[in-house]
């Protein structure tokens, strides 16, 4: 992602969800690695829909193809795959950021270092990237993109250590924040997670071919076997001869993987850190029903992300599960850019009420989160216009009060509805008869923990609690700069 500008969403019909920034997939030891990577990226398309790229290694040269848009259409053509020969390849899908989206920011990023070619695909966000970048530029580095990922390349290139592995480890020890990385060099492939394991990364196998991916669904689509998650702080190296080595250069770690992967980001058919996402979301819905019961005729999910939690809520509460909202799957991110006059109709293009079912009924709507609140408002309004007698809303996560700085597309904090209003105020804003959220301890319980640990939480839940697991160097620098500028204005 771009650390120099804030992030916004670009789809006017879907501007009220948190979005994962990236998905990565790597293959080592295959006859046509790039073709396998292209298939895997299809399964990870939900993690990034703005651009995609693949880099391959044929034993002598690196080959890269990057393009704006979806994987389909860009990597489904034979001539593109033929242009990416070799037994190793890595790929990346990403979302856009504020400002002009540039091909130079599309990953994998590639550079020629003294040790040879170096390609990297990154999921996450380096929270001290701007500070490191300024220092590198001061020392003479010349950047080709505005991506935080590029600082890793420059840190490797300027490291005084002798071996490439030691240079890479040296670089990682200078950055903060979240990263799951797949790196390709002439020596082989490296997959690693940051010491907190904030972003996911898993390992799979198909015959003698080793694979790494953001989610296990990428293995399913290519027929590979899921082996295990890459541990937080672990580097797994696959040499060109097929040897696999594990390095743990960070010593003892205290993992805090992103809790929102289980709530929303990952596909429900994925396994994240050993847990079925679908099963966890059903458990969240059941816990939500225990904590926040309501008398209703039907439990209705806000599609598609609310479906598993709604099933769990219905099973626990005994209230029938029904599809009261029908989603159109044909509204893409490149649909018309409407003017203000028709912008408010966007939600009806994507969701439509099942009027015959809900008319005269008391309904409980289940969704994964409320961000700005605009979609929830429109959904509740749609239910009332369709004749619902009562509309109750239940949310399968605690209130989202804080921004994410670890690779998630989050509005600035002042635009988060839960930052501005308490639950009662949020209920009034969306015009629901009642509104309730799962508690933070309830969320942990659904994930198999007794409760949220005091002092050392088991997950990164900063978007709910404000308890960030790392320092936020760049963010702190911005705050200090703003304070100094304000002081200077007052003095003047």
Given 22, 90, 404, 460, the catalytic residue? 22
Residue 91 zone, left/alpha/beta (φ > 0; ψ -120 to 50; rest) = beta
Cα–Cα distance between 82 and 69 in angstroms, integer? 20
**Nearest-angstrom CA–CA distance, 35 and 41:** 10
Q: Which one, of 47, 8, 474, lies nearest residue 258 by Cα? A: 47
Residue 284: CB atoms within 10 Å: 26
Give, for 78, the enclosing helix (H) or strand (E): helix 78-82
Q: Which helix (H) or strand (E) holds 89?
A: strand 88-94
Burial category of 6 from C-beta neighbours within 10 Å (exposed 0-12, middle 13-18, buried 19 and up): middle
Q: Degrees (nearest 5) of the Cα angle 227, 231, 235?
A: 95
Angstrom distances, CA of residue 69 to CA of 103, 123, 162:
11, 18, 39
CA distances from 172 to 168, 195, 254, 287, 448 (A): 6, 10, 17, 39, 31
Q: How far apart are CA 109 and CA 111, in angstroms?
A: 7
Please say if 258 is a catalytic residue.
no
3-state DSSP call for residue 63? strand
DSSP character for 55?
A: E
Residue 52's SS3 state is: strand
| DSSP sequence for 162-201 | SSHHHHHHHHHTT--EEEEEEEEETTEEEEEE-TT--S--
Active site residue ranges:
22
């Amino acid at each position: 992602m771009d650390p120099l500008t804030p992030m916004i969403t670009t789809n006017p019909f879907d501007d009220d969800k948190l979005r994962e920034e990236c998905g990565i997939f790597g293959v080592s030891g295959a006859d046509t690695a790039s073709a396998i990577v292209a298939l895997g990226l299809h399964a990870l398309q939900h993690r990034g829909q703005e651009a995609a790229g693949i880099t391959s290694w044929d034993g002598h040269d690196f080959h890269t193809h990057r393009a704006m848009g979806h994987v389909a259409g860009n990597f489904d053509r034979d001539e593109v795959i033929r242009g990416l020969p070799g037994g190793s390849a890595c790929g990346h899908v990403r979302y856009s950021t504020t400002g002009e989206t540039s091909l130079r920011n599309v990953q994998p990023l590639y550079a020629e270092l003294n040790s040879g070619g170096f390609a990297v695909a990154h999921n996450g966000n380096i929270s001290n990237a701007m500070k490191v970048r300024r220092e590198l530029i001061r020392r003479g580095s010349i950047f080709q993109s505005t991506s935080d990922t590029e600082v890793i390349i420059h840190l490797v290139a300027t490291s005084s250590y002798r071996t490439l592995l030691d240079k890479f480890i040296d670089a990682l020890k200078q950055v903060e924040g979240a990263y799951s990385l797949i790196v390709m060099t002439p020596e082989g492939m490296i997959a690693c997670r940051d010491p907190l394991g904030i972003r996911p990364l898993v390992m799979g196998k198909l015959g003698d071919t080793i694979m790494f991916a953001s989610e296990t669904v990428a293995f399913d689509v290519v027929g590979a076997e899921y082996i295990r998650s890459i541990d937080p702080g672990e580097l797994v190296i696959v040499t060109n001869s097929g040897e696999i080595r594990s390095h743990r250069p960070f010593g003892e770690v205290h993992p805090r993987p992103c809790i929102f992967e289980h709530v929303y980001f990952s596909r429900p058919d994925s396994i994240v850190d050993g847990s079925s996402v679908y099963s966890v979301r059903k458990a969240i819905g059941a816990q939500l029903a225990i904590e926040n019961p309501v008398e209703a005729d039907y439990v209705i999910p806000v599609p598609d992300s609310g479906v598993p939690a709604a099933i769990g809520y219905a099973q626990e509460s005994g209230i029938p599960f029904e599809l009261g909202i029908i989603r159109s799957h044909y509204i893409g991110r490149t649909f018309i850019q409407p003017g203000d006059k028709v912008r408010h109709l966007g939600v009806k293009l994507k969701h439509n009420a099942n009027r015959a079912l809900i008319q005269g009924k008391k309904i409980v709507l289940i969704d994964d989160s409320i961000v700005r609140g605009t979609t929830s408002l429109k959904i509740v309004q749609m239910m009332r216009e369709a004749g619902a007698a009562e509309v109750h809303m239940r949310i399968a996560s605690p209130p989202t009060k804080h921004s994410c700085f670890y690779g998630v597309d989050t509005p600035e904090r002042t635009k988060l509805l839960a930052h501005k209003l308490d639950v009662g105020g949020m209920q009034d804003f969306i015009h629901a008869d009642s509104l309730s959220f799962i508690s933070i301890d309830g969320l942990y319980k659904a994930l198999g923990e007794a409760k949220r640990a005091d002092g050392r939480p088991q997950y990164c839940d900063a978007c709910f609690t404000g308890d960030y697991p790392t320092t936020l160097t760049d963010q702190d620098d911005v705050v200090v700069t703003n304070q100094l500028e304000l002081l200077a204005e007052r003095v003047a």
